[in-house]
Structure 1
């Protein structure tokens, strides 16, 4: 007897948070067998044949000619990230799995108090900026006017990392500084801090 088989490989998917995900499973020769979608991480059955079992109202199912079975996840959330399995109830069961990666654009979650900092000339200043997103964002500092910064005795355009440490602040350091966070998922985000120097 000719058992059903998977007609196409399943490829992992990457979706930006808030967008819709479409997972597809193509089966040949299904006959009287049934196709189910399962969330592997939580061992949750999402759909069996024509019926959505999941209580999650963002999940729906479409199919064509009993050959292509599509699991739709609307407005993807970070919690949807993980492994999904398409299975056929043969004995033994046949299955294929696919990974849903959910990516999140960067947001700056913690930054130097508000938008300005006041430092006396000759003192040290530390500006900081923390960002989150998935993948973890890369953070850098630069001057808004594009001028070089004198950091640790060197003239630099960019300082990598969450902290910008300026020792022995002089009036030449008085400027607007931008913390820029990016992780390859648009849009990048930035935060502006104005450094006032008292002299």
Structure 2
């Protein structure tokens, strides 16, 4: 074989190797194997009923040290990254049983506002994503979703009085304690309801936040609603996933204290003061 022929074959072999190395990965393996891809076997359209749970499935293959995230398309809000949740709405969580390739998004107590497109993403360069559409049905004969009925013997407790009075424009602060030793603290979660509706921490109203502390003794959840409006009045319920719920009534006042607040402090003074007046008069 001549020197020219040998050089030509070497050049062709080099071009073939460079070309195949740049081909993208695919679920079929072989050329390009090793790059992340979605195992597209799950439904792209998911239907859920108001008040029930929805699971949006995502199977990511060969991700290596890359991260799988879920994003809500309508507001570009990152909901989860890896196994961590990046939203104040406790209804959202990621299901990733080790060592599977599943990175499913779970939405508890689905509400009509949850309908829309969600994207499962892998942080490659460029980023790759898979869209899943969630549709929500509101059955006309189904009553409004209520907190679950079956609970263990433990019960939640909301600190303070059963009736909470705040002035318009101030902050509503409610603290719920759940002292449960039967389950790991990391598995405990708390939802808050205003009436029969789950409180949306990402709602256009804004000014709603949740502080949760988990210890070996139980879970403490603190709900803060700033700039209280008259429409924020009503029943607030703390609903743990491992205990009975607890409720309080919140009354937002338009600058006036109710009679109940005044008498709660003055009633204890009224009787002794009357007795003092009578005794003083008798001594004269």
Q: Note the aligned Cα RMSD (angstroms).
A: 1.4
Q: Which residue of 2 aligns with 1:6?
A: 38
| TM-score, length-scaled by structure 2 | 0.36
Q: Contact conserved, 1:10 with 1:97, CA < 8 A, in 2?
A: no
Q: CA deviation at 1:54?
A: 1.2
Superposition pairs of residues 132-143 of structure 1, within 5 angstroms: none
Structure 1 residue 20 displacement after superposition = 0.3
Match of 2:93 among 56, 60, 68: 60
Pairwise CA distance, 1:66: 4.9
TM-score by length of 1: 0.51
CA distance in 2, matches of 1:36, 1:102: 22
Give the CA deviation at 1:61. Answer: 1.3
1:94 aligns with 2:132: no
Larger proportion of strand: 1
Could you tell me which of 79, 85, 91 is aligned with 2:119?
Answer: 85
Higher relative contact order (CA 8 A, sep 6+): 1
Number of aligned pairs? 107
Deviation at 1:9, TM superposition (A): 3.8
- What 5-or-longer segments of structure 2 have no aligned partner? 1-31, 142-284
Could you give the per-residue CA deviations for residues 95-141 of structure 1, whole angstroms, max 9, x where no partner exists? Answer: 0000000001126xxxxxxxxxxxxxxxxxxxxxxxxxxxxxxxxxx
User: Which residue pairs with 2:55 in the alignment?
Assistant: 22
Structure with the bigger percentage of helix: 2
Given that 1:10 and 1:96 are in contact with CA atoms closer than 8 Å, whether structure 2 keeps it comes out as no
Aligned residue for 1:134? none
Distance 2:76 2:42 in 1: 19
**1:39 touches 1:83 (CA, 8 Å); kept in 2?**
yes
Distance 1:19 1:59 in 2: 13
